[in-house]
Amino acid sequence: MTERRVMMIQQGARRNFVYARHLEAANLLHSLVTDAAWPEGDAGSLAQFAARFAPRLRGAIARRTVPGVPSARLRASVLPNLVSTSMSFLHAERAYPLIDEALAWPNRLRGLEGADIVVNYHGNGGSFLAFAKRRGARIVSDFVVTPKYLEIEHEERSRWPGWESDSTSPSVIEFYRKRMSRLVAISDLYLCPSRAVARDLGDLPGFDPARVRLVPYGASGVLLREARPEPGRVLFAGAAGLRKGIPYLAKAARILKQRGMNIAIIVAGRVSPIVRARPETQDLVFLGALDRERMAEEFARTDVFCLPSLAEGSATSIYEALANGLPVVTTESSGSVVQDGVEGLIVPERDGTAIADGIARIVTDRRLRAAMSAAALAAAQRYSDEACGRAFVAVIRKLAGLSDVRLAEPKA
């Protein structure tokens, strides 16, 4: 049996603990260090308690249940959750390091306990990462979003004043940049979900391109319904904000209307009253935030998926679109696996006309739409959760100097 040498550190239930599950299936997981979480065996009694005394907690308990990882390898603490609640008055990027420290210090007291590889999400683990590095561990960091996302938000808020009530100060941008620079310097490998993230990491001091490993995230737990696309129905899924390119999508909707085309652009996701009321967005159809079932129904009805994002890691919604066989119109910065002209079209950023042209091209050319739909389904298989998990494990095995073996599939 493979020696268990890898400690996984993550805050929250990001992607249903997928890396920990794959490490466990490969007999590599030493421990999963996280905030509030429960092994499957304990979740049932917790859910029963919640159903009786706190029904609103049932969903949170389900999300924080770690499938396929035994309790012996789970180091969970509610301390980061308590700190997070008390730090709600801070900008998120100033609060995150404090929350990370709430996870770091209990873990420092326990130490590595035999682990010699530490995998973390975007700096989760705080000072424990430096602690582990000093003791000879190798640090693998998954950069889940472009390190420039705050700079991009700041630029867009300057470009579109009045669209968002939040602000991004230069001091917060600099604070975050220094944090990411420290993570780049300490990491032995950079896991990047897309070339866009690797590109933007290259602007940080100490960046070493030889440490980059491209490992897409894959489609995880997509709920599928029978496809019944309505020609001309275009879906955007996600928070309708500036970072996602919503002003440019709105411009595309206006252009398509002016051309007299029977195309409706549907926005499914959180939207502020400010954005909903803007005169520029009146040609978009806002559905608001949808539950999982309703979102699956929207994907089933969709003809073309569009995400003109300006800053991502690798957008989950695009993997969902591919799994539903949808052609995609998107930007390079979405971090998607979409190939231009194959599964969809890659359009220039901040260009409403290019977005409109791309949507119109696919909607009006049904043979092209059918070919792209077939390619999208094939891509979803290539970038399944299991396939991307195997790629991740292969990177870790190579770092550990282990020969390749046939791996079990993780428990979903």
Q: What is the pLDDT of residues 218-227, one digit of tens each?
A: 877 788 899 9
In degrees and rounded to multiples of 5, residue 268 shows phi and psi of -110, 110
**Can you read off the two tokens belonging to residue 321?**
């679109």
Q: In sequence order, what are the residues at sequence separation of 6 or more whose Cβ sits closer than 8 angstroms to the Cβ of residue 311?
A: 145, 146, 148, 149, 152, 153, 243, 333
User: What pLDDT does 412 receive?
Assistant: 44
Q: Where are the beta strands (DSSP E) in 6-101?
A: 6-10, 29-34, 38-39, 65-66, 74-76
Q: Is the dihedral of CA 383, 387, 388, 391 positive or negative?
A: negative
> Cα 81 vs. chain centroid, distance in angstroms?
20
Element (H, E) at 101: helix 92-110
Its CATH architecture, for the domain 6-36+77-218+385-400, is 3-Layer(aba) Sandwich (3.40)
In degrees and rounded to multiples of 5, residue 213 shows phi and psi of -130, 120
Partners of 264 in beta bridges: 233
- Average pLDDT on 233-240 reads 97
Is residue 410 predicted with pLDDT exceeding 60? no
- Average pLDDT on 186-215 reads 97
User: What pLDDT does 116 receive?
Assistant: 95
pLDDT, tens digit, for every residue of 369-392?
999 999 999 999 999 888 999 999
Rg (CA), the chain: 22
| CB 155, CB 207: distance < 8 Å | no
Q: How far apart are CA 8 and CA 13, in angstroms?
A: 12
- Phi/psi-derived region of residue 344, left when phi > 0, alpha when psi is between -120 and 50, beta in every other case: left
- Average pLDDT on 204-230 reads 91
Is residue 347 predicted with pLDDT exceeding 60? yes
CA-CA distances (angstroms) from residue 288 to 124, 135, 222, 253, 304?
31, 49, 20, 18, 19
**Can you read off the two tokens belonging to residue 347?**
């359009």
Is residue 408 predicted with pLDDT exceeding 50? no
Three state DSSP letters for 78-96: CHHHHHHHHCCCCCHHHHH
> Cα 64 vs. chain centroid, distance in angstroms?
17
The DSSP secondary-structure symbol of 403 reads P
Query: What are the b/e assignments for 71-104, b being 16+ CB within 10 Å?
Result: eebbbbbeebbebbeebeeebebebbbebbbbbb
Is residue 43 predicted with pLDDT exceeding 80? no
User: What pLDDT does 321 receive?
Assistant: 97
Q: Do domains 6-36+77-218+385-400 and 233-382 have the same CATH topology?
A: yes
Three state DSSP letters for 216-283: CCCECCCCCCCCCCCCCEEEEECCCCHHHCHHHHHHHHHHHHHCCCCCEEEEECCCCHHHHHCHHHCC
Cβ neighbours, 10 Å, residue 296: 16
Q: How far apart are CA 24 and CA 74, in angstroms?
A: 11
User: What pLDDT does 402 receive?
Assistant: 87
**Can you read off the two tokens belonging to residue 377?**
């389904």
Element (H, E) at 138: strand 138-142
Query: What are the b/e assignments for 346-359, b being 16+ CB within 10 Å?
Result: bbebbbbebbbbbb
Q: Which residue has the higher pLDDT, 356 or 402?
A: 356
User: What pLDDT does 364 receive?
Assistant: 98
Q: What is the mean pLDDT of the chain?
A: 92
Its CATH architecture, for the domain 233-382, is 3-Layer(aba) Sandwich (3.40)
User: pLDDT exceeding 70 applies to what percent of the chain?
Assistant: 93
pLDDT, tens digit, for every residue of 139-175?
999 999 999 999 999 999 999 999 998 888 999 999 9
The residue ranges of every structural domain in the chain are 6-36+77-218+385-400, 233-382
| CB 139, CB 28: distance < 8 Å | no
Q: How far apart are CA 171 and CA 148, in angstroms?
A: 14
Element (H, E) at 70: none
Instruction: Quickly state the pLDDT bin for 260 (edges 50, 70, 90).
Output: very high
